[in-house]
Structure 1
Amino acid sequence: MKLSPAFPALWCSFLLLWISQEGNSSDVCTFSPNDNATGLDACEELPNTSKAVICLVYPTNLLNCSWSFHTLDQDAELSVSVRVSENDELVDSRLQGSAKRVGFISWMLQDGEHREVAVDFNVTLRGAWMCCRASFDDDSLHIIPPPANVTASVQDGSLNVTWDAPSESFPPHCFNYQLDMGEQEKLRNFSDKLQHLEPNVVPGHTYKVRMRARILEFCFGCTQWSEWSPTVTVGEPSFRLDPLVIAVISLGVPMMLLAVLLLLRHQRLGKVLLPPIPRPPEKYKNFLEKNDPLNFFHPVSTIKSEEEITEVEDAEHDPGATN
């Protein structure tokens, strides 16, 4: 069965519209006017600069291939096939027979070297068919690990951050780094160095430092950002109470206040510790001695002393007395 001459023109127009809406004029796919052209050789290779398809192998050996075709016609039928090869030999594959315009395929790979991944997209719309392929070599697949041995310290009012290169497979100038210093801080971007000095840090402020890295495009590696490194906390508050200091303050201050209070009232201290012996009045003394409650309100009896009168008589002088 021959297709109408209008079909190639229609599909070319559809292709140009799709490409223009994707914003990448290099994402070119070949539309087959032959319904029987279903072989893999009929797929057109997408350029490496295409951002519509991304495949990554993480350090945990997880393969993840994702795609995004937002402007693809709603009526189009899409199937996705992912094939993994080692040394030009097929070792694993996955297929989504009915895929969405935005989706992904991921699974854990076995240990291996020199991997290559090919992702084929088969689109069928109104009886016509097209195929696109995105290929990834081993260097562009492996996402690099985060920078190692990240350290941070505050010195002379500046934050000093050091780290090690994430990989020895690339020269130092191939790495692009991103530094995160915590909340409300802008990300810092730099490359070709292993140390950064951030001036004018806030005294007493706590910084939570972490970093990630990627390969620059001219070095022909994976240009995706790595995961963040473990967070390093630096810049503890300038004044921090020790639990022992808190305990001493809690017990010592009340004791000091008590001592001051006792010193101010030292005159009453003796009366509190050695109270005076009670001494009843004289009028109650007799009552207490007799233990007679009836005489409690009677006046104390007084004993008058008897007066002794001594009479002295003057003897008259006898003139006839002789010595």
Structure 2
Amino acid sequence: MAPTFLILLGAAVALGADVRPDKNYRVNPPGNVTAEVQGSRLHVRWEKPVSAFPGHCFEYEVRLHNTRKQYFQTEKMTTNEFTTTVHDISKYCIKVRAAVSSVCREGGLWGEWSPAISVGNEAQKSWTEWYPITLVAALCLAFVSSLACRTCHVWTKLFPPVPGPKSHIQDFAATVNYEVRPRSFRCVPPARVGPPGSHT
């Protein structure tokens, strides 16, 4: 058993791997990290760190940074690929790091992050792409508004009918009755005026 360990240790040293018997050593960052956006899906892949441990002995952390919204997301996994849903007008900065899992030995410390890679596009959509969406939304809003106004009689509540001006044409067409009625008068005798001081 000892010769096998020496051969593995010698091969690891020759390859530049970081195998140490200490449980607290940090593994190298994962290699060959690649990422691509297909529609609204982001696919990230990487290779295991250079190490004497086999691929199933590693745990990984993937960190996504949405540079447009300043949002960070960190995911843990045991496979060497990661897929998530993203916004198509955002740029993402991606890093991956590894640690030896407790499956192969007592858990180790997380290694360094891999160099950051960027994917995505921060360019805004041109107005020609937004125009059909805006037009359809405006038509739908107009239709719903007119339907609501008709069913709730909103127009008559907001804009009550204004009475029209009085027509004077009807006054000219009306027949005026000029018959004179005799008035009855009551005769009142005139008051007598006498010398001052005399009352009758």
TM range (shorter): 0.3 to 0.5
- Report the structure number with the largest CA radius of gyration: 1
Return the structure number with greater relative CO, CA threshold 8 A, min gap 6: 2
Structure with more helix by fraction: 2
- TM-score of the superposed pair, with normalisation by structure 1: 0.30
